[in-house]
Amino acid sequence: MAMPLTTTHRVFNFSSGPAVLPEAVLREAQRDLFEFPGAGMSVMEMSHRSKPFDRILEGAEATLREVAGIPDTHAVLFLQGGASLQFSMLPMNLLTAGASADYVITGVWGEKAIAEARKVGAVRVAGSTEAGGFRRVPRQDELDLDPSAAFVHVTTNNTIYGSQWRAMPDVGSVPLVVDASSDIFSAPMDVARYGVIYAGAQKNLGPSGVTLVIVRKDLLARSSPSLPTMLNYAVHAEQGSRYNTPNTFGIYILGLVAAWMRAEGGLAALGVRNARKAATLYAEIDRTGFYRGHAEVESRSLMNVTFRLRDESLEDAFAKAATAEGLDGLKGHRSVGGLRASMYNAFPEAGVEALVHFMREFERTHG
């Protein structure tokens, strides 16, 4: 029996993740969902060791390497478990016996990362902005870095507080490791500078369920054979991300997103567009004082714009009215309240313009 057709209406999705995907990617996936070209079956049905999936996985990696400038010195892994598993997996692989690692804490995710690392080995807090409510990232002169550390861990962008590193700190010769889940490839990135970059895919790269890990190949030697197999970077690198069955459909979508990024002009063009979107919204927040930004100006995120109303009692009404107007996902994280507009790579500029128009109308009627 055929299912009845329904009329759909896509809203502007400001959710922090899982987040908006490029419309072109969704349409291509929809077209190929029933039968992937040349395979006679859906991507969700094919073996992860089949030749059609070989093309999908190898194509996704090759396109990512091209778009992001990932050098041959780094392995690209498609894993599972999200960034939260990397909080444990990273120190298990890189924090060798007798060594210590430095963590810079700029929000909840950094706190969670160091809490898991403490279960593995010795760690130090090399810098923190907790005392100021995580409204900014530290200055270089505020960091207490150990030149003999196994690695330095930084969270590049803080979804909850709306702060972002505009430039990575200088950590000398120590491997720089970053959780880039919420701003990965939102602008050009010198991948060669990093020991490890990891990110859950569900914000800028694809659907939830895929975790991208980019690791410098020389660091794979630190992965001890005594580690559980599924937690060993070296094993996953040797097996081409297919020691076990990976998230095949998620990798397929990630490959489509990488191709979309290339078609949009690459990371440089996306960076310009993302900066323009954020500047438009911050200008409205700063315009009259009816709204106020949470993060300090020099640390403001281009991905997650966090703000409050001067009269905080109006915030629930704002979020509900915005949702009714097709502006979804604007309520702030439950731990800090307020409002948050997440605007990742695929979020359209028309959505920012619609939000600004709504904000002005809300101010007119409630100001």
CA distances from 353 to 121, 282, 301 (A): 48, 12, 18
Q: Within a 10 A sphere around the Cβ of 112, how many other Cβ atoms?
A: 15
Structural tokens at position 281: 């919204």
CB 163 within 8 A of CB 136: yes
- Kindly report the backbone phi and psi dihedral angles of residue 277, in degrees, each rounded to the nearest multiple of 5, phi listed first: -60, -50
Active-site annotation holds for 144: no
Q: Which residues pair with 292 in a beta bridge?
A: 308
Structural tokens at position 153: 């861990």
Of the candidates 102, 183, 203, 328, the residue annotated as catalytic is 203
What's the first-to-final CA gap in the chain, in angstroms? 54
Structural tokens at position 131: 């005392």
How many Å apart are CA 123 and CA 130, to the nearest integer? 17
Closest CA to 346 of 188, 216, 136, 203: 203
Of the candidates 109, 165, 183, 328, the residue annotated as catalytic is 109
Active-site annotation holds for 72: no
SS3 state of residue 105 = strand
Q: What is the DSSP string of 230-274?
A: GG-HHHHHHTTT-SS---HHHHHHHHHHHHHHHHTTHHHHHHHHH
Which residue reads 């097996």 in tokens? 239
What is the DSSP code (8-state) at residue 291?
A: E
Active-site annotation holds for 320: no
Of the candidates 102, 165, 179, 260, the residue annotated as catalytic is 179
Catalytic machinery residues: 109, 179, 203
